[in-house]
Chains A and B, each alone.
Chain A
Amino acid sequence: MSGSAPGPPALDFPGAETPARQYDLDANGVRIAVHEWGEADAPPLLAVHGGFDFARTYDLFAPRLAAGGWRVVAWDQRGHGDSEHAALYSWDADMRDALAVFDHVAGTVGGRNGHFTPLPVVGHSKGGALMTQLADAQPFRFRALVNMDGIPYKRNIPDIAEHERTKMLSDDIASWLDHRRRTADLQRKPGTIDELAARRGRMNPRLHVDWLRRLVTTGGFESADGWRWKIDASMRFGGFGPWRPEWTLMRLPGLPMPFLGILGAEMEEMGWGTPPKKVLPYMPLLGRCEVLDDVGHFVHIEQPQLVADLVLDFFGEPA
């Protein structure tokens, strides 16, 4: 574990707070940046960000959880935020990095010597899906799990002829391979804070422009030719592979720990496009799902206090 040098101050946004502590962990040779809000000796609560996000996207939400008496611990997944740009990325690698953080945090509250300390965990989007799978594989690590709009349902495959579908797959694969051939020298496109905020706004149209501008100053860096997002330029949306979203959904009913799903009713580009009525039958025995009307994929940013109150009530007293 080592300390991270503080970056430039973030732009102000009402209710947003810079983490109280930042440090690095060595996750099997990959440097993972960890951010904490709340008192250093408060009981820990893990917060896992979504794909193409970073831990500081919890600047609004985490302080509200910390106000409930928790030490909120979030980390930048490899290639995201302040963590190392790794040579390889995969679901399993993200899971392994997560375990390094779990082990570290559990170790700070007496979870060593062969005993796992179950922790409360909240994950958004991809972070929610990752944690749902980990909760299925290693339930002893979880005291309770909150999944915020991270319940994959199934692929959005348009109703088209077979040959058209094959053509789409062909184009997807060729586009991905073309991208891979270019990544050796690739950099994110520079711009002003407003330009980067506008780009992000196209993916997050429901979020306030001042929040997006702040995101540039927490998830980006400034160099001579302007601001760039910190995320590894080799990463991109889309792609292909054998994994199917519904395989995560199948893991839900068997989860043994208390489970809370929080879904935004408004479908958005960065979301999974999961219709709430499709996932409700999959709730585990100790699970329930809250559907927030007129809220999009980023439930914790659009309605930070409402969602924090739901989560605090669900987790109960910090202990």
Chain B
Amino acid sequence: MELVCPAGNLPALKRAVDEGADAVYFGFRNNTNARGFAGLNFSEGRAAEGIEYAHRRDCRVFCAINTYPQPGGWAQWSSAVDQAAELGVDALILADMGLLGYAASRYPDLPRHLSVQGSATSYEALRFYQREFGIRRAVLPRVLSLNQVRDVARHSPVELEVFAFGSLCIMAEGRCYLSSYLTGGSPNTRGVCSPAAHVRWEQTDTGLESRLNGVLIDRYAEGERAGYPTLCKGRFEVAGSTYHAIEEPTSLNTLDLLPELAELGISAVKIEGRQRSPAYVAQVAAVWRQALDSLTRDRERFAPTPAWQAQLGALSEGTTTTLGAYERRWK
């Protein structure tokens, strides 16, 4: 299984490559990718530098152009595809059908991966994308249980990549408009979720409050660990009780599932986190490199070490990890 690591900037890319990533993925400095955050991502020059660095060390580079071209904005997205092709990336990660068609006709030899934002949760959906746009690989949304992943893998016409570690989207990716409902910007339209420009922190008599465009997302008592106000991870009131009504602030960690994922023929595991620091990316990449190497040596006797789990646990949001939807009872 291939280890695919996030590169939010050039230092992170280099650290991921150094720690043994088989592939890294990046996006350009605009709204064409799903981490359209200020100060993140690559100019053309930095991308060229990163690609050269990775290729010299036998690491592949994928370019994420996985938001949806907006009316009147086609040129920005299609030129991102042109730019990535000219830079010599090893694959494009795309979600929009129009853009997939464009890439397939202009650059038929450049592999196309279906982004998780393409929301393909079944092999029938994968067949559609494969037949229409000749995709080589698809990243599965984080909504399927292990048994469901097994069904998809058994009949999939393309390679599969699954999320292994990082922030957990609780909603089917590509079909979540919660962020634009509160702030106007969403993953699909602007590559953002709960954007920082709309976040306000305020110390009040009742505790530390986090708001997103004025809407109270959470309120923390003294000493309570406060997290970024991602709207699905707040504490809300439902029928009289106040709790994490949608999702707790936890991270996905599938280290325990590696042997099963290998058994199913999954081609690659993906680390989320282009918005994270180079140090974070390096530590996560290092643990997963060791785990995958250990798995290759002896799949039968593979067991995550307490040290790996402790390292990953310390890097997790809310410092707890979950298997997410892979584990049926989580649903």
Asked whether A and B interact, the reply is no
Q: B residues engaging A (CB < 8 A)? A: none
